[in-house]
Copies of this chain bind each other. A is one copy, B any other.
Amino acid sequence: MSKQSANDPNSLKAIRIGIDTYQESVVYMRDDCHICRAEGFGVQTRVQVQAGGHSVIARLNVVESLSAILPAGQIGLSKIAWDRLGLEDGDRVSISHPDWVNSLSYVRSKIFEHPLNQRQLLAIVSDVLHGRYTDVHIASFLTACANRLNIDETAYLTQAMVDVGSRLEWPGTDIVVDKHCIGGLPGNRTTPIVVSIVTAAGLTMPKTSSRSITSPAGTADTMEVITPVDLDLEQIQSVVREQGGCLAWGGNVSLSPVDDILIRVEKAIDLDSEGQLVASVLSKKIAAGSTHVLIDIPVGRTAKIRSRSDALGLKRVFEQVGERLGLIVRPVITDGSQPIGQGIGPAFEAQDVLAVLGNRQDAPPDLRERALLLAGQILEMAGLEPTGAGVGRAARLLSSGAAWNKFKAICEAQGGFREIPEPQFRHLAVADSDGRVKAIDNRKLANLAKFAGAPNAKAAGIRIFIKAGDSVSKGDPLLELCAETQGELRYAMYYLQQNSKYIQFY
């Protein structure tokens, strides 16, 4: 590999400065650096850093020459910048002005309500992939598109996200099924159960899931508690060849890699919008080689989708964008009025999943019913059962232990079972007085679980002891708040005090 030469006046010796800036590349240059002077670089300038054929755009932080952290003649690189350039100790890098990013003018044009065409969206997605957007540019793009992408734009964005990534193929298989829940409903962890049932029926379901965007757990976060999910492309293909399905994290296989970059900023601004949502979901499905996709749309006053008419709108967008991209999409509108299952947070949701699959007495009936409904729909979509007969078949596959055996086989193929972690710090919330539960607030409970540390802290979250309609007496436990650290427990308890209406009584 060709390296930068010490004779290049714009080259500096690179050092791994040991600062982790997550996904945004940052470089550190001294305020007396000759390149800063020659090129007119200042704090927060975007610079292009090149080494041996690789190139990244990085944000510049300026280091005072008095400071001891950076010797003269050197440039410090944050962890991600170092890794992306594939540097080794002693390497030199070359620093220059980045090329003009044309696609930023398309973002500006979108802000002023001009629709984006296919070429423009591909340019934006490609520039995001190649690190030419800083976080504020991505935040602006996401905000400009929130609630404002038409069907054409959504289809173009979806296609662009597929085009810049890898694409899986499943030779010899005509039907490849998949499912996705649009979220907003804590504890609605049906995916592992659905995959186990439909693959037990002989279907192919190579399920790759994302980590949580704004929720206390995604399927990948939950499955990670049970078994390894960081599979590479080859491992996924081998597990699916062997078992018909998998339950892997999608982030390692570069399926719609831009989606992961966008999701990181969506998370920071706590935003998850319709067009983006459809593009995110369908781009992953198309890239994964799916042909039939079921979408679970929970509706409830405190769910992501609050009304039936909003749900019908989203359903149409999914169907129309799917049709344009040659994908059969079946959105199913479900009850999202309160959390599903008994726990919120990766470990708690994993326990609920295992209880249902194992046909245990203490399994949450609402999670079981929901999973059977969805699995039944997939069996019907794929033509294995006539309309109306899918749920019955799904229930038989679950009760017989076929789904449980399939789940165990998939986990074994992915690398075996893990011990589910237990939280160290707990706080029990009890009823102040007698009463009957009117409603449970999905959003407040999701926030509460996040403040307790979920999903990064796997054992953190909430155990819920009640459902809407239940009668409680003063002193009865309502929920248990669980955290891995004292600080997070304190933080969540503080939120609980400030938001007493997380459960409403008649």
- A66 x B18 contact (CB < 8 A): yes
Chain B neighbourhood of A20, CB < 8 A: 31, 43, 61-64
- Assess the B111–A40 pair: CB atoms within 8 A: no
Q: Mark A268-281, 1 if CB is under 8 A from B, else 0.
A: 11110100000000
A502 at the A/B interface (Cβ < 8 Å)? no
Judge whether A250 is part of the interface by a CB distance below 8 angstroms.
no
Q: Closest CB-CB distance, A447 to chain B, in whole Å?
A: 8
Q: Give A6-43 as 1s and 0s: 1 = Cβ < 8 Å from B's Cβ atoms.
A: 00001000000111111000001001000101111011
Q: A111 contacts which of B31, B61, B147, B483 (Cβ < 8 Å)?
A: B147
Contact of A136 among B268, B273, B485 (CB under 8 A): B268
Check if A137 is an interface residue, CB within 8 A of chain B.
Answer: yes
Take A38-B485, A40-B487, A42-B456 as given contacts and tell me if A269 and B146 are in contact as well, using a CB distance cutoff of 8 Å. Answer: no
- Check if A457 is an interface residue, CB within 8 A of chain B: yes
Residues on B with C-beta less than 8 A from A457 are: 40
Is the pair A453, B140 in contact by a Cβ cutoff of 8 Å? no
Say how far A457's CB is from chain B's closest CB, in angstroms.
6
CB of A146 within 8 A of CB of B112, answer yes
User: Residue-by-residue, is A35-78 near B (CB-CB < 8 Å gives 1, otherwise 0)?
Assistant: 10111101110000000000000000111101111000000001
- CB-defined contacts of A44 to chain B, threshold 8 Å: 21-22, 268
The interface residues of chain B lying within 8 Å CB-to-CB of A40 are 453, 456-457, 483-485, 487-488
The distance in angstroms between the C-alpha atoms of A21 and B69, with both chains bound, is: 15
Q: Whose C-beta in chain B lies nearest to the C-beta of A491?
A: B97
* B residues near A387, Cβ cutoff 8 Å: none
Considering the chains assembled together, what is the distance between the CA atoms of A269 and B61 in angstroms?
18
B143 contacts A139, C-beta separation under 8 Å: yes
- Quick one: which of A124-153 are within 8 Å of B by CB? 134-140, 142-144, 146-147
In whole angstroms, what is the CA distance A42 to B457 when docked? 11
CB <8 Å contact, A97 and B487: yes
Q: Is A108 an interface residue (CB 8 A)?
A: yes
Of B66, B79, B100, B485, which is within 8 A of A39 by CB? B485
Report how many copies the assembly holds. Answer: 2
Q: Which residues from 143 to 194 on chain A have a C-beta closer than 8 Å to any C-beta of chain B?
A: 143-144, 146-147
A43 / chain B contacts, CB cutoff of 8 Å = 20-22
Q: State in angstroms the CA–CA spacing of A136 and B483 once bound together.
A: 28
Q: Which residues of the other chain, B, contact A143 by a CB distance below 8 angstroms?
A: 111, 139-140, 143-144
Chain A interface extent, by class? 35 or more
The yes or no answer to A495 lying at the interface (CB within 8 A) is yes
Q: Which residue of B lies closest to A134 (CB)?
A: B268
A113 at the interface (CB under 8 A from B): yes
- Min CB–CB distance A307 → chain B (angstroms): 13
Check A17–B456 contact: CB distance below 8 A.
Answer: no
| A265 interface contact, C-beta 8 A | yes
- A69 touching B488 by the CB < 8 A rule? no
Question: In chain A, residues 102-124, which have Cβ atoms closer than 8 Å to a Cβ of chain B?
Answer: 104, 107-108, 111-113
Cβ 8 A contact of A67, one of B17, B112, B498? B17
Is the Cβ of A18 less than 8 Å from the Cβ of B97? no
Docked pose: A137 CA to B268 CA in angstroms: 8
User: Taking the nearest CB of chain B, how far is it from the CB of A446, in angstroms?
Assistant: 13
Q: Are B63 and A19 in contact (CB under 8 A)?
A: yes
**A486 at the A/B interface (Cβ < 8 Å)?**
yes
Chain B neighbourhood of A139, CB < 8 A: 135-137, 139-140, 143
| Contact status B135-A62, CB under 8 Å | no
Closest to A28 in B: B19
Contacts of A62 in B (CB 8 A): 19-20
Within 8 A of B (CB), among A457-497: 457, 483-488, 491, 495
Nearest CB of chain B from residue A321's CB, rounded to whole Å: 20
Residues of chain B with a CB closer than 8 A to A488's CB: 39-40
Residue of B nearest to A272 (CB): B108
Is the CB–CB distance between A270 and B104 below 8 Å?
yes
Q: Tell me, in angstroms, the Cα distance from A62 to B19 when the chains sit together.
A: 6
CB distance from A441 to the nearest CB of B (A): 14
Closest 8 CB pairs of A and B: A18-B67, A39-B487, A143-B143, A139-B139, A136-B139, A18-B64, A20-B62, A69-B69
16 further contact pairs, Cβ within 8 A, besides A137-B139, A139-B139: A10-B487, A18-B63, A20-B62, A21-B61, A35-B487, A37-B485, A40-B484, A61-B78, A96-B487, A100-B498, A104-B270, A108-B271, A111-B146, A112-B146, A137-B268, A143-B143
Can you give 28 contacting A-B residue pairs, CB < 8 Å?
A10-B487, A18-B64, A19-B28, A19-B61, A19-B64, A20-B61, A20-B62, A20-B63, A21-B43, A21-B44, A21-B61, A22-B43, A38-B485, A38-B487, A39-B485, A39-B487, A39-B488, A40-B487, A40-B488, A44-B268, A69-B69, A104-B269, A112-B147, A136-B136, A137-B139, A137-B268, A140-B140, A140-B142
